[in-house]
């Protein structure tokens, strides 16, 4: 019997991991008529937004990596995770083991390079909140941030959106007594593949939501539908082919999404 080919074995393992990651995306997804999408958005009882490259114009971990002079290595791993070619938890652990960011480095990064909203997002969310209130007797649109990013990098955006801490699902970095990087909280639902679905299921159970919308740019956002009723793919920062093909609707900017809500009534 001939010896196993190491490169072939490695390739097979890589393909198996990629297949497992792809299998996490629900088969029920796929483009829907704009009239259906518009009706679903207007009747939504809650909306969950991804943060990095959706609400935010950047990938927070890539900003942190660039701040720590490790940008190229980390960005390659981020792309693999967002395109769904590796399980999210694998890419998260790989990136953090390379970065090992201290508490001081994270704080300095947020102070020097605070996150900014993606172009047009503030106007869009103000519109959607007002539109929802007008159709629902003044009731506010429940807005949540569901992210595989890190809480300290998301906090400035949370404050600007005026939502409470319980409305954010994100990853928690853990540090030693001296502030050095220790680990991340593996109990956070968004620390692993399928975590956004678990986060939305928690929201549905907690609040009784049944018509949730998920908006995001990556494969982990596709995994959240269901329990989300509709999945909006956002390509205003990065347009990912998997999301284009699988989302119920794909938009390139926030005005497109506003138009769908307004003009399909």
**Residue 52 annotated as catalytic:** yes
What is d(CA 141, CA 161) in angstroms, rounded to the nearest whole number? 12
23 φ, ψ (degrees, to nearest 5) = -65, -20
Q: Is 9 exposed, middle or buried (0-12, 13-18, 19+ CB in 10 A)?
A: exposed
How many Cα neighbours within 13 Å face the side chain of 219? 27
**Residue 164 annotated as catalytic:** no
Q: From the candidates 45, 50, 62, 221, give the one annotated as an active-site residue.
A: 50
The pair of three-digit structure tokens given for residue 127, joined into one six-digit string: 């519109």
E strand or H helix at 151, and its extent?
helix 151-161
The pair of three-digit structure tokens given for residue 167, joined into one six-digit string: 């409305």
- According to the 3-state scheme, what is the secondary structure of 207-228? HCCCCEEEEECCHHHHCCCCCC
Q: From the candidates 45, 52, 217, 221, give the one annotated as an active-site residue.
A: 52
227: Cα separation from own chain's centroid: 15
Q: Are 121 and 254 in contact (CB under 8 A)?
A: yes
Task: Please identify every residue annotated as catalytic.
Answer: 50, 52
């Amino acid at each position: 019997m001939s010896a196993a080919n190491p490169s072939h074995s490695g390739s097979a393992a890589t393909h198996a991991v990629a297949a497992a990651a792809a299998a996490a995306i629900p088969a029920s997804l796929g483009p829907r008529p704009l009239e259906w999408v518009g009706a679903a958005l207007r009747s939504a009882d809650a909306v969950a937004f991804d943060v990095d490259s959706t609400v935010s114009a950047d990938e927070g971990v890539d900003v942190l990596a660039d701040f720590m002079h490790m940008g190229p290595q980390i960005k390659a791993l981020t792309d693999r995770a967002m395109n769904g070619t590796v399980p999210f938890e694998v890419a998260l652990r790989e990136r953090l083991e390379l970065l090992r960011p201290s508490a001081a480095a994270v704080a300095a990064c947020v102070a020097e390079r605070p996150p900014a909203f993606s172009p047009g997002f503030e106007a869009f969310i103000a519109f959607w909140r007002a539109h929802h209130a007008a159709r629902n007797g003044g009731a506010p649109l429940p807005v949540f941030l569901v992210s595989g990013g890190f809480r300290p990098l998301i906090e400035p955006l949370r404050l600007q959106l005026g939502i409470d801490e319980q409305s954010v699902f994100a990853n928690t970095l853990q540090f030693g007594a001296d502030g050095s990087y220790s680990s991340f909280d593996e109990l956070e639902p968004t620390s692993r593949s399928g975590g956004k679905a678990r986060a939305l299921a928690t929201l549905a159970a907690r609040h009784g939501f049944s018509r949730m919308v998920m908006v995001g740019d990556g494969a982990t956002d596709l995994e959240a539908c269901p329990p989300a009723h509709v999945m909006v793919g956002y390509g205003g920062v990065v347009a990912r082919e998997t999301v284009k093909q699988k989302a119920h609707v794909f938009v390139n900017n926030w005005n497109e999404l506003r138009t769908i809500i307004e003009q399909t009534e």
